[in-house]
Amino acid sequence: MKREVLFSIMLLLGVGLYLPAQNTETLYLNDDSVLKGYIKEQVPGNNIIFHSDDVDLKNGRQKSSNSLYDIKWSDISFIEKEDMPDTLLTGTISDVILNDDNSYTGFIIELHPGDFIKLKDENDKIHVVRYSNIRTINTKILNHNQALEEQFYYLDEIVLKDEGSVKGFIVKQSVGKSISVWVDETETINVPLNDIAKLRKQPNNTFYKPIWDKILQEGQFVYNNSDIVFQDIKPTVQGLYIVDVKQNVLTAELNKEISVYANLIDDETKMTAIKTVRMEDRANLIGNKKNYYETFKMDDFVSSNIEVKKSNVTKGGTTEFSFTPTETGYYVLYVSSEEGYIVFKVI
């Protein structure tokens, strides 16, 4: 009886504890059958409906024609969750709070019915945590610059015993007590476990937007997924630099953020941006046409008031430099570790 109660709690805990990536769950049964997919529906104390197109069935189990398998809780050995790739910057992470106020933060990679979970932290250390020691599990987003609904791979539906339902994303699970469901930015609903008839989930196709890290070679700079070619600009005798506006010029839009990505050789590298000064060459008139040049001086980088933001290095070793141009014209970027300059034309 005690095992059945803990098992019920485990499956209620399991809903919402999704790893990002493909969010594949591997279901291992007591008869050595293995199914890969996800728990589509579960009825506390009874059964689960598992969606799978990749099965290895034993003991006379028959392959389903609609990819749905009705499995008793007592037939489950354990559930394994797919690991998260280092390059994925979108998703959720679990904050497991224990009865003694200690906590673990990471990705739940295994669920063992009525016994324990395995959690991998940011240092890839595996922690084994028994269900009886868990008080609360909070589900938090990985990317704080992205909306919550865009980072959950599955949409949850809590079907109530009074035939109503709550749809959203499970963000908190109080063991043996309740589940909290994020509905929108203004509403989070707390649902007592005793009010729950069943739990369902389905792919969050409407809102889920994965963001992947950009993997670059050491010393590589890119803009809009294309390699950047630096301009080799030499100063004149007067210390004036003249931009070649006909080659190796990148295009950007006014008032829209420009992002340059790089795999830096030197992590202390800085980037400075200036807007060029247009000068007229009065000595070289061709007919009635005047010649114009886009110019700058090195002192302009010292006095520049353009803020270039440098992001933290991502898991893939990529750094982002970004700024927003507020005027049309030509902009020159100086990178402290590189020879040459990056030139943008803002239209």
Asked whether residue 297 falls in the same domain as residue 328, the answer is yes
**Structural domain count of the chain:** 2
Cβ contact 264:314 at 8 Å? no
Asked whether residue 191 falls in the same domain as residue 336, the answer is no
Tokens of 278: 């247009």
How far is CA 2 from each of CA 5, 28, 45, 173, rounded to the nearest angstrom?
A: 5, 22, 12, 20
Q: Is residue 211 part of a domain?
A: no
The residue segments making up the domain with residue 15 are 2-203
Residues paired with residue 168 on neighbouring β-strands, in sequence order: 156
Asked whether residue 263 falls in the same domain as residue 292, the answer is yes
* H/E stretch holding 280: strand 277-286
Asked whether residue 40 falls in the same domain as residue 114, the answer is yes
Asked whether residue 74 falls in the same domain as residue 191, the answer is yes
Asked whether residue 231 falls in the same domain as residue 337, the answer is yes
Asked whether residue 178 falls in the same domain as residue 279, the answer is no
Asked whether residue 195 falls in the same domain as residue 225, the answer is no
- Given 169, 203, 237, the domain boundary residue is 203
Residues paired with residue 103 on neighbouring β-strands, in sequence order: 97
Query: Which pTM was predicted?
Result: 0.65
Backbone dihedral angles phi then psi of residue 197, each to the nearest 5 degrees: -90, -45
> What is the C-alpha end-to-end distance of the chain, expressed in Å?
71
Asked whether residue 288 falls in the same domain as residue 235, the answer is yes
Asked whether residue 138 falls in the same domain as residue 15, the answer is yes
In tens digits, the chain (347 residues) has pLDDT values of 334 433 443 444 443 333 333 478 999 999 999 999 999 999 887 899 999 999 999 989 999 999 999 999 899 999 999 888 878 888 999 999 999 999 999 999 999 988 899 999 988 999 999 999 999 999 999 888 899 999 999 999 999 999 899 999 999 999 989 999 999 999 999 999 999 999 999 999 999 998 887 788 999 999 998 999 999 999 998 899 999 999 999 999 999 999 999 999 998 999 999 999 999 865 554 455 667 899 999 999 999 999 999 986 566 678 999 999 999 999 999 999 999 999 999 99
CATH number at residue 229: 2.60.40.10
Asked whether residue 141 falls in the same domain as residue 16, the answer is yes
pLDDT of residue 14: 41
Asked whether residue 190 falls in the same domain as residue 242, the answer is no
- Given 177, 203, 229, the domain boundary residue is 203
- Given 203, 229, 253, the domain boundary residue is 203
Sheet holding 289-296, edge to edge: 241-242, 289-296, 277-286
* H/E stretch holding 77: strand 76-81
Q: Is residue 110 part of a domain?
A: yes
Q: Which amino acid is at 39?
A: I
Q: Is residue 12 part of a domain?
A: yes
